[in-house]
Amino acid sequence: MTPYREKDFIITAISPEGLVVFKAVGFAKPNAKLSGIVTLYAIVEAELDEKKTGLVLTNALAVSKNYKIMSDYQKLSVLNFIGESTLRLLHDESEIASSYPYIKKAVLGLETAFSPLTLAYITLAKILQAGGYGLDVNRCVYCQSTNDIVGINYVQGGFLCRKHIGHDFDVVLTPDKLNIIRYAFLVPLDKVDRIAFENDVLIDLMQALIIYYQDNASMTLKSAKLLIQSFTQQH
């Protein structure tokens, strides 16, 4: 959301068709009708009119109820994290279109009692995949063997078998953790909110995947620090 002229906003949104940019007229006025619905990281059904100067917002219905998230520090940190990691990595239409259903599912999932960190982890995996940085979680990156997988090398981009472990940046992981990584990259949309992982198991994997994202995208995610803090500090 970028202020435009005195009273308007230019809004950049993701949609099932890719990125959409539209003008919200009068949004900066205190009584603007739709400014409580079209907010940062909210999911809306928006009606847009095609004007000579571009698309203009004419109506909007709230799909997500972000007020349910705003009072929860962990959920809010996940929402910000998903928003930032989406907008900073994905730019072309097909990348955004393919990750949109997972992002929507995660934002709506945050309104429920389901594990927010699990939603964050799976969504990050799907965003990476859409951006062309998916990990190979089916076989050893060195020999393509599907047997005896014991670790991961993020720099090489995937799993390792027992025979090929020992290179720089190879990490040995428990079968549980390998399964979580595999699940996150392969899980279909309808099963995203079926299995919740324990935060203390997931937090290390989350940190590693954030480093992987940042290394590949050559950027620092500002929201990542808060995300990790919110799940590691006692309240």
64: alpha, beta or left? (left if phi > 0; alpha if psi -120 to 50): beta
Q: How far is the CB of 154 from Zn ion (least distance, A)?
A: 16
Long-range contacts of 141-145 (CB under 8 A, 24+ apart): 142/167
Which positions from 59 through 118 interact with Zn ion, judged by CB under 5 A? none
Tokens of 92: 């072309």
Q: Which residues contact 185 (CB under 8 A, 6 or more apart)?
A: 125, 126, 129, 134, 135, 137
Contact 183, 54 (CB under 8 A): no
Q: Segment near Zn ion (CB under 5 A), from 82-90, 123-131, 142-150, 181-189?
A: 142-150
H helix runs in the chain, sequence order = 67-70, 73-89, 93-109, 116-130, 175-186, 199-217, 222-232
User: According to the binding rule CB under 5 A, does residue 142 interact with Zn ion?
Assistant: yes
The correct pick among 140, 150, 152, 221 for binding Zn ion (CB under 5 A) is: 140
Q: Segment near Zn ion (CB under 5 A), from 153-161, 168-176, 213-221, 226-234?
A: 153-161
Q: Segment near Zn ion (CB under 5 A), from 20-28, 132-140, 172-180, 210-218?
A: 132-140
The correct pick among 40, 61, 70, 143 for binding Zn ion (CB under 5 A) is: 143
DSSP 219: S
Task: Give dist(CA 7, CA 45) in Å, integer.
Answer: 22
Q: How far is the CB of 151 from Zn ion (least distance, A)?
A: 10
CA proximity to 130, closest of 200, 43, 216: 216
User: According to the binding rule CB under 5 A, does residue 149 interact with Zn ion?
Assistant: no
Cα distances from 207 to residues 147, 199, 212, in angstroms, run 27, 12, 9
User: According to the binding rule CB under 5 A, does residue 164 interact with Zn ion?
Assistant: yes
Tokens of 214: 């940042």
Nearer to Zn ion, 145 or 207 (CB): 145
Q: How far is the CB of 138 from Zn ion (least distance, A)?
A: 12
Number of chain residues interacting with Zn ion (CB under 5 A): 6
The correct pick among 161, 184, 224, 227 for binding Zn ion (CB under 5 A) is: 161
Q: Segment near Zn ion (CB under 5 A), from 12-20, 61-69, 159-167, 200-208?
A: 159-167
Nearer to Zn ion, 46 or 152 (CB): 152
Residues that bind Zn ion (CB under 5 A): 140, 142-143, 145, 161, 164
